Amino acid sequence: MDILKKLQEEFEIKASQVENTVKLLDEGNTVPFIARYRKEMTGSLDDQIIRQLSERLTALRNLEEKREQVKTTIAEQGNLTDELAMKLDAAETQTEIDDLYRPFRPKRRTRASIAKEKGLQPLADMIWGQKLIGTLEDYAAAFIDSEKGVDSVEDALQGAKDILAEQISDDADLRKILREDTVKYGVLLSKKTKDEPSVYEMYYDYSEPLKKAAGHRILAVNRGEKEGFLSVKIEGEEEKLLQRMERKIIRKNSDTTELLREVIADSYKRLIAPSLEREIRNDLTEKAEESAIGVFRENLKQLLLQPPISGKVVLALDPAYRTGCKIAVIDATGKPLETAVVYPTPPQNKTAEAEKKLLGLIEKYGVDLISIGNGTASRESELFVAEMLKKTKRKVQYIIANEAGASVYSASKLGAEEFPEYDVSLRSAVSIGRRIQDPLAELVKIDPKSIGVGQYQHDMNQKRLGEALGGVVEDCVNSVGVDLNTASPALLSYVAGINGTVAKNILKYREEHGKFSARKELLKVPKLGPKAYEQCAGFLRLPESSMALDRTGVHPESYKAAEGLLRLCGYTLEDVAAKKVSGLAKKIKSLEKTAAELGIGVPTLEDIIRELEKPGRDPRDEAPAPVLRSDVLSMEDLQEGMVLTGTVRNVIDFGVFVDIGVHQDGLVHISQICDRFIKHPLEAVKLGDVVQVKVLSVDLQKKRISLTMKNL
């Protein structure tokens, strides 16, 4: 297989783009670096495409390696024919290669192998030839041999049938036909295994054509089966499949028709159907997982790229009942100023005492915003905060923060290293406050799987999920850029070219030598060599550096070109530092000629122009601002037809969950998102979007809110 050609066809890009991107990846360059600083070579492919191409490249190379292993093994057995080699070379999937290898794979003792040991292969061959002189019994009688365990004609014929059943099961072409037909016409069935209520009740007596089975339903029945509530199977149209097999195997005027029909039925029911069911279910699960990972990726990306609420003093509140609400006041730079525990919720209900404490903290530190975690006792805490804010003259608003993963961080080794003086619960409060000030910087400290914007993430291939989500975090961190002098090791470790060890070395260097004054100083950090410097330098910012370009996303390799551009347009580095550079594109008559004059490509020139005009720009500024509240709404206040503003909290296959400020997120079903037909909610909305919704129905008992975004 020509891997480069295959990639070109699949991604529908130029051959040069594939060749150059693969070359850059093979040289050890990171995806963010390639996407940002090698646009001339890749034809400006974005990081998402490059990452997908990298993953597919690995998969195709693994497939090629498997192909060669199989060919070598079959050749060592002396069974590799030119025809088989051609079929193996033409195989495009692991399943096709496995089917071709099946007859040659070492097997445990089977009914067929036992029959072969008894010398019954020639009898099987005669039956397979389908032309007889005399009767089958006469042929079979010649193979009776008590010493070999063939005591009768029936024994001989049964052994021959076992050999043929396995032979049919090992036919790669036939398996491919049966697999395709099963997927096309088969049905997914699930039945209950317990007479008790569960979240899987809709699947207690469920059937759906395989070709229509949505990924989230595949994952749901898998989990129900794993937890012992469901039995799940795939049912093909058996009669049609048997007829298909007979047409392929039994020749016209065959002398062994009836016996071959028996063999075909046995081969399908005993050997082919069970293995095809396993293969098809594995394939469906793999596709469902990839789809779920794709949704998780997009949700995570939007969550990480939520705009920071910077420059505000935040009072974070981690709600609880018996153990009290943990409080942390955090200054505008993210530094904790004071912590406390108050008890405004049941069973203590020390509302007045809690109010006095919090109002004192608000006045003492000039609190601008209260961040309330959305977990246990969040509802009661929100009511308490809303009432309390009426008693302060300061303009203080509050926001409900998604606290998913905060407890994971607070109990982690990283949390203990960062705040050894705080107990676990207080660290959680700090995290809830900081994730409002800078979501990206705080959320990178948490395993992406624990952030709570996925579906069935704990049922998936954890290695694959971890790689996919790690790639999202890496892309987000590098698209925003990182302040070299304030970033935590957790944040630094996601910068292109920097691993955990180097991140800790940067922190240690910072502690020993003070703040970095220039990017090139990075080369003094242990284990950060020229290659790592090339990868990371452009993504690390120094907002206070005397070298103005160190404050921007311009890569050090392009400093000379950037300075040349400034001279051509009548600007200086001092103008960049003072943010006085504008209208560069208008001053350039020809981008191509200017790029050639500066010794760079047009894409790099365009990037430099953007960076010089907006040094240290933050792509998160373009996202909708979070919704801040000053009063509270309850589910009981909701009425059908009420129109509200909400924030999209999670996007899943069948709809979106929207926070409308009543503690319980409402569901907008996919059919209620927009007037046009969409296959997936992500086509219309994304996590973090601020949307207008109308209440369709409220079920107080089940705590369900149904919303619509249509006709508003």
- Contact (Cβ atoms closer than 8 angstroms) between residue 232 and residue 189: yes
Written out in words, the top-level CATH class of the domain with range 3-104 is mainly alpha
C-alpha to C-alpha distances, 389 to 343, 394, 396, 485, nearest whole angstrom? 17, 8, 7, 36
Tell me the CATH number for domain 635-708. Answer: 2.40.50.140
What is the Cβ-side half-sphere exposure of residue 661, based on CA atoms within 13 angstroms?
A: 23
Percent of the chain at pLDDT above 70? 100
pLDDT band per the 50, 70, 90 thresholds, residue 462: confident
Structure confidence at residue 448 (pLDDT): 86
**What is the rounded average pLDDT for all residues in the chain?**
93
Write out pLDDT tens, residues 497-553.
999 999 999 999 999 999 999 999 999 999 999 999 999 999 999 999 999 999 999
Rounded to 10°, the helix 172-185/238-249 angle is 150
Please give the structure tokens belonging to residue 30. 């990171």
Confidence check: pLDDT of 225 > 80: yes
- Contact (Cβ atoms closer than 8 angstroms) between residue 655 and residue 684: no
pLDDT band per the 50, 70, 90 thresholds, residue 616: confident
Cross-strand partners of 314: 330, 369
Report the Cα 494 to chain-centroid distance in Å. 17
Write out pLDDT tens, residues 435-445.
999 999 999 99
- Contact (Cβ atoms closer than 8 angstroms) between residue 524 and residue 565: no
Phi, psi of 369 (to 5 degrees): -145, 140
Please give the structure tokens belonging to residue 380. 């009661």
Structure confidence at residue 51 (pLDDT): 96
Average pLDDT over residues 683-708: 92
- Residue ranges of the chain assigned to CATH 1.10.150.310: 509-622
Cβ neighbors of 440 (< 8 A, separation 6 or more) are: 304, 305, 306, 308, 476, 477, 480, 491, 620
Q: What homologous superfamily is domain 314-437 in, according to CATH?
A: YqgF/RNase H-like domain (3.30.420.140)
> Where do we find the tokens 């096709």?
96
Query: Omega of the bond prior to 106 within 30 degrees of 0, cis?
Result: no
- Contact (Cβ atoms closer than 8 angstroms) between residue 340 and residue 360: no
Q: Report pTM.
A: 0.85
Other beta carbons within 10 Å of 133 = 7
Structure confidence at residue 618 (pLDDT): 85
Q: How far is residue 465's CA from residue 610's CA, in Å, rounded to a whole number?
A: 34
pLDDT band per the 50, 70, 90 thresholds, residue 113: very high
C-alpha to C-alpha distances, 181 to 176, 241, 242, nearest whole angstrom? 9, 8, 11
- Contact (Cβ atoms closer than 8 angstroms) between residue 211 and residue 187: no
- Contact (Cβ atoms closer than 8 angstroms) between residue 502 and residue 529: no
- Dihedral sign from CA coordinates of 601, 604, 606, 612: negative
Other beta carbons within 10 Å of 487 = 23
Other beta carbons within 10 Å of 590 = 10
Write out pLDDT tens, residues 470-498.
999 999 999 999 999 999 999 999 999 99
Cross-strand partners of 336: 330
* DSSP assignment string, 220-267: HHHHHHHTTSEEEEEE--HHHHHHHHHHHHSPTT-SSHHHHHHHHHHI
Confidence check: pLDDT of 632 > 70: no
Rounded to 10°, the helix 15-26/3-11 angle is 120
C-alpha to C-alpha distances, 703 to 3, 248, 474, 712, nearest whole angstrom? 52, 57, 37, 24
The per-type count for the chain, helices as H runs and strands as E runs, is: 31, 15
In a 3-state reduction of DSSP, which class is residue 459?
helix
Percent of the chain at pLDDT above 90? 81
86, with CB counted inside 10 A (0-12, 13-18, 19+), is exposed
DSSP summary character for residue 30: -
Confidence check: pLDDT of 319 > 90: yes
Phi, psi of 683 (to 5 degrees): -70, -20
- Residue ranges of the chain assigned to CATH 1.10.10.650: 3-104
Lowest mean pLDDT among 34-43, 447-456, 469-478: 447-456
In a 3-state reduction of DSSP, which class is residue 442?
helix
- Contact (Cβ atoms closer than 8 angstroms) between residue 248 and residue 177: yes
Confidence check: pLDDT of 465 > 90: no
* DSSP assignment string, 93-118: SHHHHHHHHGGGS-----HHHHHHHT
Angle at 656 between CA 651 and CA 659, to 5 degrees: 105
What Rg do the C-alpha atoms of the chain give, in angstroms?
A: 33
Q: How far is residue 286's CA from residue 93's CA, in Å, rounded to a whole number?
A: 14
In angstroms, the first-to-last Cα distance of the chain is 53
- Residue ranges of the chain assigned to CATH 2.40.50.140: 635-708
Average pLDDT over residues 199-205: 94
- Residue ranges of the chain assigned to CATH 3.30.420.140: 314-437
Q: How far is residue 518's CA from residue 544's CA, in Å, rounded to a whole number?
A: 9
In this structure, the strands spanning 540-541 and 482-483 are parallel
- Contact (Cβ atoms closer than 8 angstroms) between residue 399 and residue 371: yes
Q: How far is residue 81's CA from residue 87's CA, in Å, rounded to a whole number?
A: 10
Find the largest Cα–Cα distance for the chain: 108
Tell me the CATH number for domain 151-295. Answer: 1.10.3500.10
Write out pLDDT tens, residues 230-277.
999 999 999 999 999 999 999 999 999 999 999 999 999 999 999 999
Question: What is the architecture of the domain spanning 509-622?
Answer: Orthogonal Bundle (1.10)
Please give the structure tokens belonging to residue 477. 């961190």
Confidence check: pLDDT of 578 > 70: yes
DSSP summary character for residue 679: S
Average pLDDT over residues 70-86: 96
